[in-house]
Each structure stands twice: as structure tokens, then as C-alpha cells.
Amino acid sequence: MRERKMDLDNRATHGLHTVKEEDVEGDIENDAKGILNSDNGAHSTEPLLVKRRNTTSQIAIVGANISPIESLDYEIAENELFKQDRRSRKKVQIFQYILLKWTFALLIGLFTGLVGFFNNIAVENISGFKLLLTNKLMRKQQYYEAFAAFAGCNMVLAAAAAALCSFIAPAAAGSGIPEVKAYLNGIDGHSVLAPGTLFVKILGSILGVSAGFVVGKEGPMVHTGACIASLLGQGGSRKYHLTWTWLRYFKNDLQRRDLITCGAAAGVAAAFRAPVGGVLFALEEAASWWRSALLWRAFFTTAVVAIVLRAFMEFCGTGKCGIFGKGGLVMYDVSSEKVQYSGPDVLAVILLGIIGGIFGSLYNYLVDKVLRTYSIINEKGAAFKISLVIAIALLTSCCSYGLPWFGRCIPCPTHITVSCPNTDESGNYKSFQCPPGYYNDIASLFLSTNDDAIRNLFSASTKKEFRISTLFLFFSAVYCLGIVTYGIAIPSGLFIPVILAGACYGRLVGRLFRSISNLDTGLFALLGAASFLGGTMRMTVSLCVILLELTNDLLLLPLVMLVLLISKTVADNFNKGVYDQIVKLKGLPYMEAHAEPHMRHLVARDVVSGPLVTFLGIEKVGNILHSLRTTGHNGFPVIDEPPFSDAPELCGLVLRSHLLVLLKGKNFSRERIPAGQEILRRFAVFDFAKAGSGKGVKLEDLDIEEEEMEMYVDLHPISNASPHTVVETMSLAKAAILFRKIGLRHMCVVPLSQGRPPIVGILTRHDFMPEHILGLYPHIKPHK
């Protein structure tokens, strides 16, 4: 440790050294002393560092810097290898790249559409078989056997979904939208987009929805589309001998980010049959960076999804899809209802918006509490995860089968075109225990798939189909079941539970306002769903378009816009959107589009952390290897000193992954001289590209001999010669906005005046996190 301290002190002229957790090897005190001595009193923040050390004795483990989550390299390293590759690129290669981009967009849309169709086919047939079996036993008055079959099927399906998530891909549990949102913000979550996650997401979503849980397959479809895009954009795989030359253009995080954005849009388009809504969802909720070229590709991808779904809808219209009918792909068509509204109708809609905002914020609050509780249970192991899922499945089965017994038999209405009671697994009129000519309205909602229940609530010209007590009971059950179900170890979406609960209380309000409002109760159900969606998810434009594409009625546009704006405004006064809360709960260092108020009182140099390990332009191999072993940093400033420059100057930033490739290539020299064109001849730019699903070069893969430790290696050809820098006195709020808008992983902080070390420190996303800042400055209030 003494040798390391001396080495750091000798590097004092390279920049300010502060403490960072990954670099501490058991002697924080010695390193801190070396840090305080490293500036020789010249740096203006030295008294501040002394003050921090006195008030927080464990700087190294304070704040967000302890997070093991890595960031993504959206910035292209403009080093000499990259520039040479750009200069040598021919027109045919540029054409290949453009062609491949659009081909990938086509394939993402095609595969996501196929998966969406497969999910609907599977859910409709599995759920249909289960419901038909239950109805068959009910007609024979074998009520206990019917419950045993119903609950047994649900628990078996639920246990299978939980086992997949517990043993194969834990990252597949939940919606997946928060994880995709975090990835597109620059956070590289572990196994979020892995092939195993994709497999479990598809199969687990089918099993979970078929098990009768109050969950949807729409949220998981967004994650599925992102996984498909990630696999296609891996840039090939040496492990599986997929090393086609064209694929190398996508071996970077920037291209994968664009493809995954298209995949998220395709997932929404496949889930809701809403291509335009999918693009707007990616723009409003998922993506952190957007540009017009990406808009075109996303729109093309969702258009392909719509074509694929339309083709299979026609195919299923011939009756070749088993029990599968209109329930999965043709969503909720209410265009046949005429929409005319007056002042009292608008007042009712405003009330819906207020109710939706209150219920939505309460829903988010309760989901947050449940997730925190479930996380404690899930940490105890797979057995506890599966047991919790089975318990919730049993609870849901008891509610779905038991609550209809509290309903009464209602005579079938006259002048209807459908059979009453229904004899198949779907429809508005379920007989349950009722005699011929009667139906049970509670069973019509509970003993149906979620899509069928929403369709029943949205149905027009059926004002008295569901009694007020039925709507209240169903809303209470769905609201509570949706809260306790989200967070268990199965793939589960939030869209459908929210739409179900919102449609129910919307129809309930429509019944209560029937004397003063002329709007159909089915339209009230749609507006209620919109208000609840706005209150929970806090989206406006994308939700508005998705709902209009779902229902095929543009006449509702003004009312849907109004109710979404009101519900979002009301809910924002209580808490954040549900996906933002989940991102925070998972501890993901998400960069918001706006800076926090407390950042305005700080400047960039106030939060730089370290130790800042720098390399010389031509560095000793042993020093590089020592730094890689003793730190977890992924970026290192490269400094040129005399005689290679007139004064110490920052000449670039080199990445850990690039250093590992360079050291493995062993292009060393015994003298400290520039390598010249030798590195450019021995390496290609794609040798330093990011590895796909296979493993890249690791520190353990290096075989450096003792003699080579004293040799030198030139870092200039692989250093990013134009790293993004900010002056140390820049407002931290301004630096945070710049960091997010450009999509950086490292931001170099340089001194304001000359005659000082050429770099003060490096800012990463963890340095902008409130936990880190408030750990350094506990006296600062996080909010005004």
C-alpha cells in the first residue's frame, strides 16, 4: 500500500485525487492522506475536502458511488483507429450500414409481431380451456369440482411461471418497462436483455396471464421487443460463429440504443395494435434521447408490426386459431357509438379526471409499499418466491370464483344479437349458477380473460347490464388484486389492471350520472380507464393515441385529452409515476431530464470523486496493470508531459475495455517512444468494439510476464482525443443537463486557471445522484 501511495503522490501533477469505493483495498486512511497531500495546497477545494473528511469519516462508502451498476458508452471514442476506419470506409460499406439498419428495423417489427400473435393465441387457448372446463362442471352442478379445477389450473400455471423467473431469468419478473427505460437512459442492468430473459418473458407472461392474475401481457411485450432488438443488434457473436462482416457496425452501445428504442415501440404496437401509439410511447416514456432519423425507423418498425398483426387477424378469422377469437387482437371497438356531449357531460369528465388522479396516486403509493415488502420475501430464495406466487394465485382464484356467488341472477335482456347466457368462454352474459334465460353479471366480469372483461365494460348500449353494486365490488377486487399481484416473481404488466379498474369506476360514474349526462356508460368506462392510466403512469400524448387506436373513435379525442391532463395534474401533486417509482426502488441511477434544485448551489468540482487515476501518453505496462487490478474505473484520463508536450496537458480518455484489448495484443516497446503506425497496422477499430452476449477480454485473460511489466505501451492511438470537458466552476445543474443530453459516461472536469494540473476529476452518473451529493453535503436540503 505504501508503494501505491507513493505512486499516487508521484502522479499528483496529473490531477486531483479523491476517494472512491471501488479503489480502496483496506487502507482508506492512507489513501485519503495521499489525496490530501496530492495538491500541495494549490487546489481551491482542499479545505472543503478536509471538512468532508471530518464530517463523514467514510467518504468511500457514502452515496451512490457504491452502486455496482455500470453505465453504457453512448459516446463514440474518436481515437486514431476510429478516424482511420472512417477515412478508409468506402461507399459500398456505407450502403451496407444503411441497408442493415433498415433490415434490422424490419426484423424487429416482424419478430415482435409474431411474438405478440403467439402470446395472444396461447393465452386465449389456455384460458379458454380452463374456463370451458369450469363452465362444464358448473352446468353439471359440480361446484366444488369446478373450483378445484379452476384454482388448480391457476396455481399450476402460476407455479410454472414463478419457477421460470426464479431459476432461469430473475430479470424477467415484473413489467420490464422500468428496466428498458433505465437502459435507454444509459444504465447497463445485469441480464436485462439477455436471451434467457427473452425466453422467460414470453413463456412466463403467457403462463401468468393464463393463470388468471390481474396482470397484463402488454408491459412484458415492451420488454420482449427490446430483448429482440438487443439480440439482433449484438453485432454478431464469435461464440456462435456469427461474425458476418456487416454486423460489426452495430458493436457499440449507440446503435444498440436506437434498435432497442425501436423494439420498445414495436412492443407497444404489438400489445395494443397501436403503431402510432407505440412510437409516441417510446418518445414520451422510454427513450432519453431522440432524433428525427430514429423517429422514421421506429415508425417503420411499428408499421411492420401492424401489417403482421393484420395478416394473422385475417388468418384467425377463418377459425383456424382454436378457441382464439377476437379477444386477443381486435381490441375494443366503440366507434359505433355516437359521441355528443354538453356542459354536464364535461363536468362529469372533469370529475372522472380528478378521481383518476387521486386513485392513481394512491395506487402508486400502495404498489411502492407492496414492492418493498415483497423484496424482503423474494430475497429469501426461490422457494419463498414460488410460495408467494401460489398464494396470490389461490387468493385470485377464490375471489374470481367466490365473489360471483354474491351476485343474483338477472333476466337476459331482450333485443340483443348475442346469445344469453353465453355458452362459450367469452361474452357479456355468463350463466354461472343461474337457470336458463338468466345470467350472473359478477361472473361475466370475473370468469373471463382480462381482455374480455375490459371489452364487456367498454360495451356500448348496455346501460343496465352490470348493477352498481357489481361494479363497486369488481372495482374494489381488481384494485386490490392489482396492487398485491404486481411484484411477485412472474412477468406482469400494469396496463391491463389499471385499464380494468379505471373502466370499472368509469362505468360506475356513468351509472351515477345517468340522469344528467347523455354519454353512454361504455364511453364513461373508456374515459375512466384513461383517467386511471394518466393518474398512475403520468403519460399524456402516447396514452391518448393508444386509447384512440384501441377504440377506433376519434370523436372521443377532446374528452380523452381533457381527462388525461386533469388526472396527471392531480396525481403529480402526490407522487411520481409508477415506472419512475420502480426505477428509484430498484436503485437504478437514472438521470432525470431536469436538474434537482440542490444542484444549483454546487459547482462541478464540489462532487468529483476518485482517486483520479491517470496514465501518461506512453505508459509503463506494470502501472496500467496495477491500476486495472486495484480500481474499478472504466475511464482513465491520458496526460502528456514533457518532452512530449510543452506542459502537462490532457490529451484524451482511454477506456478500461480498450486497455485490456491493447494489453492482450502485447504491442510493447522497451523504450518510451511513440508506437507510430505499428498499432494501426496490428489492430482494427472493431478489435476494440464492445462484445455482444459473449464475453469480452477480462483482466484474468491477460498473460503478462514479469519482464513485460517494465516495458512501455503507447496509449495515444486508442485514446478518445476529444473527451467532453467542463470547467470546474460550471454549475452542477448545468453539468447534469449536459451530461444527460449528450448521453455521456464520463465527463472530464478541467481547471479554470492555467498552471495547475490539466484535469480536476471525472464526473460519472453516480456523482449526480442525490444520495451521493447529500452524502457529501448533508446540510443541503434535497427539495425546496
Least confident of 419-423, 440-444, 642-646: 419-423
Q: Is the pLDDT of residue 45 over 60?
A: no
The average pLDDT across 130-140 equals 87
- Residue 614 pLDDT grade (very low, low, confident, very high; cuts 50, 70, 90): very high
Q: Phi/psi zone of residue 743: left (φ > 0), alpha (ψ -120 to 50 degrees), beta?
A: left
The average pLDDT across 665-687 equals 81
Q: Is the pLDDT of residue 67 over 60?
A: no
Q: Give me the count of residues in the chain.
A: 784
Residue 231 CA to residue 215 CA, distance in Å, equals 26
Residue 679 CA to residue 695 CA, distance in Å, equals 23
Tens of pLDDT, residues 255-288: 889 999 999 999 999 998 899 999 999 999 999 9
- Residue 244 pLDDT grade (very low, low, confident, very high; cuts 50, 70, 90): low
Least confident of 456-470, 696-710, 737-751, 767-781: 456-470
The average pLDDT across 2-17 equals 35
- Residue 77 pLDDT grade (very low, low, confident, very high; cuts 50, 70, 90): confident
- Residue 436 pLDDT grade (very low, low, confident, very high; cuts 50, 70, 90): confident
The average pLDDT across 170-179 equals 92
The average pLDDT across 44-52 equals 30
**Confidence (pTM):** 0.86
8 residue type, one letter: L
The average pLDDT across 244-260 equals 81
Provide the 10 A C-beta neighbour count for residue 572. Answer: 15
Q: Is the pLDDT of residue 413 over 90?
A: no
Least confident of 29-43, 175-189, 321-335, 390-404: 29-43
Q: Is the pLDDT of residue 34 over 50?
A: no
Q: Tell me, what's the pLDDT at 30? A: 36
- Residue 633 pLDDT grade (very low, low, confident, very high; cuts 50, 70, 90): confident
Measured on CA atoms in the order 278, 498, 401, 474, is the torsion positive or negative?
Answer: negative
Provide the 10 A C-beta neighbour count for residue 147. Answer: 18
**Between 29 and 668, residue with greater pLDDT:** 668
Please give the share of the chain, as a percent, with pLDDT higher than 70: 84
The average pLDDT across 393-397 equals 96
Helix, strand and coil content of the chain, in percent to the nearest 5, comes to 60, 5, 35
Q: Is the pLDDT of residue 329 over 50?
A: no
Q: Is the pLDDT of residue 348 over 70?
A: yes
Q: How distant is the alpha carbon of residue 643 from its chain centre?
A: 49
**The C-alpha cell of 482 is what?**
392489482
Q: Is 465 helix (H, G, I), strand (E, B) or coil?
A: coil
- Residue 3 pLDDT grade (very low, low, confident, very high; cuts 50, 70, 90): very low
* CA proximity to 459, closest of 557, 545, 543, 526: 526
Residue 79 CA to residue 82 CA, distance in Å, equals 5
**Between 21 and 141, residue with greater pLDDT:** 141
Q: Tell me, what's the pLDDT at 466? A: 85
**Three-state DSSP string of 200-256:** HHHHHHHHHHHCCCCCECHHHHHHHHHHHHHHHCCCCECCCCECCHHHHHHCCHHHH
Q: Tell me, what's the pLDDT at 224? A: 96
Q: Tell me, what's the pLDDT at 370? A: 95
Q: Tell me, what's the pLDDT at 238? A: 58
Q: Is the pLDDT of residue 51 over 80?
A: no
- Residue 33 pLDDT grade (very low, low, confident, very high; cuts 50, 70, 90): very low
- Residue 240 pLDDT grade (very low, low, confident, very high; cuts 50, 70, 90): low
- Residue 692 pLDDT grade (very low, low, confident, very high; cuts 50, 70, 90): low
Q: Tell me, what's the pLDDT at 145? A: 93
Tens of pLDDT, residues 550-606: 887 788 888 999 999 999 999 999 999 999 999 999 888 999 988 888 899 899 999
Q: Is the pLDDT of residue 64 over 50?
A: no
